[in-house]
Amino acid sequence: MSANKANAPRDAKGSQNKWQPRGGRTRAWLADHRRVASETTLFISQRVVSSFLVWVMIGVALALPGLLWFLQSNLQSLSQQWQGSTGATVYMALGASEQSIADMAATLQREPSVASVQLTTPRQALEELLAQSADSDFLQQAIAEVETNPLPTSFAVVLDSTQPFLALETLSRQLAAHSGVDEVVIEFEWLERLRDLSRLANRGGSALSAMLLVAAILVTFAAIRLAIDARLAELRVLALIGATRAQLRRPFLYFGSAYGLGGGIMAIVLMAVFLNEIETPLESLLISYRNTLSLGGFTPQMVLTVLGAGWSLGVVGALIALSQRLEAKIAT
């Protein structure tokens, strides 16, 4: 053996290292990354069905937490919107005397938790109903056939939203006990229910999100482990001729990144389809409670967050698979 060959650099196992870069370390490092990226594209294109299934599983695991996060932010917006316009409606009984109506108006004006009061007479209520049903010939005909006005006198009350819920609930009971009152509908109850729903979604969503994200990592882990087993002979040869640990691990980190990013794109598609399906029914439901809320679209921040989460999960799954499988398989 010649002196030059004997003095050639060797790796930790004593094998001659033929992976020394030519033309500079940076150029060789970039060239190796380009090679691995090309191999990753080829690897996935040869396994379209299995790769697609991995993307779908990761996409579902990411879409559910993403939807909870998206809906939670919209619930907070709706809660703030309702909090600024907390109201109640006092419906007087049919045939209530003018004195009872006047007494109720005076009671509401004296109440410190009432910000403003608007009286609607039966005639005004009927005119509003006719205006709202202008496009419906059936309703117009039905109203015309009614001999007497069936609508009661009512008070639209705007309440002080800074008052605690118990105080407003007490006010509701007091008004309901007033002479000539048929019903009191206080909208603050929906705000409290919305807040309870928001808190439940936040706590339950956090636990569900954690479980689904762990599931996404496990999916990536299983896919990368199969990829390691499929290239085991090649990896052993590369290790024998002097490939570094980073060079052996790099392709699988690219695989994990590709799976994660693909899962992130799939999650965005699934979220968009779901939100498109529920947007119209949700707006109709809110309109029935005299509130409007348009679901916000995907912001660049949300898209980048979902893609970043997918990439991170893919890389984490790949790192776990590499730490448990690569060194052990090569050593044996």
**Is a pLDDT exceeding 70 seen at residue 264?**
yes
**Is a pLDDT exceeding 70 seen at residue 10?**
no
76 band by pLDDT with thresholds 50, 70 and 90 = low
Q: For residue 181, give the DSSP letter.
A: E
21 band by pLDDT with thresholds 50, 70 and 90 = very low
Greater pLDDT, 298 or 306: 306
Sheet holding 154-159, edge to edge: 114-120, 154-159, 87-92, 181-186
What's the burial of 86, exposed, middle or buried (CB within 10 Å: 0-12/13-18/19+)?
buried
CATH number for 87-186: choose from 1.10.3210.10, 3.40.50.150, 2.60.40.650, 3.30.70.3040: 3.30.70.3040
283 band by pLDDT with thresholds 50, 70 and 90 = low
Question: What confidence score (pLDDT) does residue 171 get?
Answer: 79
Of the listed ranges 15-24, 148-157, 287-296, the one predicted with least confidence: 15-24
Query: Are residues 100 and 92 in contact, defined by beta-carbon separation less than 8 angstroms?
Result: yes
CA gap 16, 95 in Å, rounded: 103
Q: What does the mean pLDDT of the chain come to?
A: 78
204 band by pLDDT with thresholds 50, 70 and 90 = confident
Domain range annotation of the chain: 33-81+193-316, 87-186
**Is a pLDDT exceeding 70 seen at residue 7?**
no
Greater pLDDT, 120 or 192: 120
- Highest mean pLDDT (candidates 21-25, 109-113, 267-271, 301-305): 267-271
330 band by pLDDT with thresholds 50, 70 and 90 = low
What's the burial of 201, exposed, middle or buried (CB within 10 Å: 0-12/13-18/19+)?
middle
